[in-house]
Each structure stands twice: as C-alpha cells, then as structure tokens.
Amino acid sequence: MFAYCTDPASLDGLAWLACYLTTGKHMAFYASFGTVMLLLAITAPTALLFGFGGAVAARARFLPLRMLGKTYIAIVRSVPDIAFFLFFVIALDQGLEYLRLLALCPDWDQPVRQGNDFVVCSAAKLPSNSAPQWVHEVYGFLLAMFTFAIVFGAFAANVLFGAMMAVPRAQIETAEAYGMTRAQTFRRILVPQMWVYALPGLSNLWMVLVKATPLLFLLGVEDIVYWARELGGSVTPRFSDYPHGDWRVWYFLALLVFYLLLTRVSEIVLERLMKRLTFGQATTGGMAA
C-alpha cells in the first residue's frame, strides 16, 4: 500500500501497523463487512416476504395451501441451520444444474448420480468451471441469500401468523359490519394493525440474522468472522512478512464493537418504526385512549 512497506521487518510502531493493516488480506477483511451488510440488506426484506407468504398461506381457507404454509413453517423451523445450510444449498445447486442438464445437454447418457457423485455435462455446471472466481462467489452469495431467506422466512411466518391472530376480533367484526369483503378486511384492517404485535418478534429475528453470517463460509463465502479468525491466528515469520502471536482477541473485539454499533442502530430504527406503526392504535405503545 505505502511505499515504505517493502521491508516490514525494518519498521516498528505506527509505520509497521499502517503497513500491517493495509495488506491484501486486511483489505479482504474490510470488504467482507460490505458483503455482510449487503447480505443483510437483501435477505431481511426477502425473508419478510417469504414470512408474509407463509403466514398468509398458513391461515388460508383453501386446505392444500394451508397445509403448504404450515408444513413450510414446521419443517424449516425444526431443521438445524447448519444442516439446512449444508444440505439444502447443495440440493438447490444440484437441482439447478439438473435443470440445465436437461436443457443444454439433451444427448447426455450417463446417470446423474454415480455413487456419491453428482455428475452433469460441463456445459450444465453452474457456474461454469471456467468462469472467473468472482462469478462463483456471486453465485455462492445468491445461494446463501436465498437459503437465509427461506430459513428466516419460516420464523418470520410464525411471528406474522401469531401477530395476525393477535389483532382484536372486534376490529375484524367491525370491518365485516361495514360490509368489507375478506380481502378488504385483510388489507385495510388486519395487515396495518398486526405490525405492532409482530415487531418485537421480527426484531429478535433480525438480531439473530445479523449474527448468523459465519454460516456463509460453509458455502465458501468469507464473512467477517472468518477473516477475524484467519487474521488473528498466530503467524510465524516463515509464512508472513508480519509475524505475530495469537491476536484473535483484538480482532474479535473489533467485531464486538461492530456488532454493538449495528445492534444500537437497529434498536433506534426499530423503536421509531414501532412508534410509527402503533400510532393511534389501542395499545399502550400507541397511547390511544
């Protein structure tokens, strides 16, 4: 980074630190904060969408849809995250590759499953083997995002399901008395009023999601915890120009500060949101008489 960094062994104090903190490895560490924030920014709304869909399905009058919603909520919530991340993602990836095999290699005659192996023609590989590494990383990231959304969507569905049940029956009855249809009641009365009951549960989920990103490395996506562990681990002079002992505690302290800040900001935003959503509602939070 800096010109004087060519011989780090001769440096000490701040100059050494400046060089140390700007190595390629550290740059990757800083970039991983962006990866994590991006993942959160995309996953949270997607998960909420899945959750909303799941909750609506779970209270549908049409039996198969209701079964689907309930099954989604029950199954995904009961499978451990780490198992879900290992198996679901691999299954998803193989499913996509299988579809591509059917589309792109019509004269493929070998079985797709050969013992433990999953084999498709090279054109069906996703991403292609020859694609640059960043394509593989973006693909892994998308898979991760989708998986996070499904997992957290199931929890969100349960929270929203409960919240919809918590809206006072009298409100719904009044809407019916006004002659609103079921859809109108849902749209105009139920959904606007349920958020106050859903928000505490959803904010819990958000906090758990924030800290769930180390699961990313199971998919080869390097997150902040991976880099903190990698950078903090002791290195001997043979393998690095910047040998040091076990510094993991410092890196994890930095992560601690990052997580605390993120939590604090989240709390402030959620509090404001709560105020807004409960405005005029007959709850202690809404302070309507």
Residues of the shown chain interacting with other proteins in the complex, contacts defined by CB under 8 A? 23-25, 27-28, 50, 53, 86, 90, 93-94, 96-97, 99-100, 103-104, 114-120, 122-131, 133, 135-136, 142, 146, 217-218, 220, 222, 229-230, 233-243, 245-246, 248
Our CB check for other proteins shows the closer of 83 and 289 to be 83
- Closest approach of Cβ 245 to other proteins, in Å? 8
- Closest approach of Cβ 287 to other proteins, in Å? 38
Distance CA 252, CA 258 (A): 10
Our CB check for other proteins shows the closer of 99 and 265 to be 99
Distance CA 268, CA 76 (A): 30
Pair 240, 46: CB distance under 8 Å: no
Our CB check for other proteins shows the closer of 18 and 90 to be 90
- Closest approach of Cβ 187 to other proteins, in Å? 20
- Closest approach of Cβ 30 to other proteins, in Å? 11
Report long-range pairs for 51-54 (Cβ below 8 Å, ≥24 apart).
51/152, 51/153, 51/154, 51/155, 51/156, 51/157, 51/159, 51/160, 52/156, 52/157, 52/160, 53/153, 53/157, 54/153, 54/154, 54/156, 54/157, 54/158, 54/160, 54/161
Our CB check for other proteins shows the closer of 237 and 285 to be 237
Our CB check for other proteins shows the closer of 145 and 205 to be 145
Pair 63, 193: CB distance under 8 Å: no
Looking at residue 118, what DSSP letter applies?
E
- Closest approach of Cβ 82 to other proteins, in Å? 9
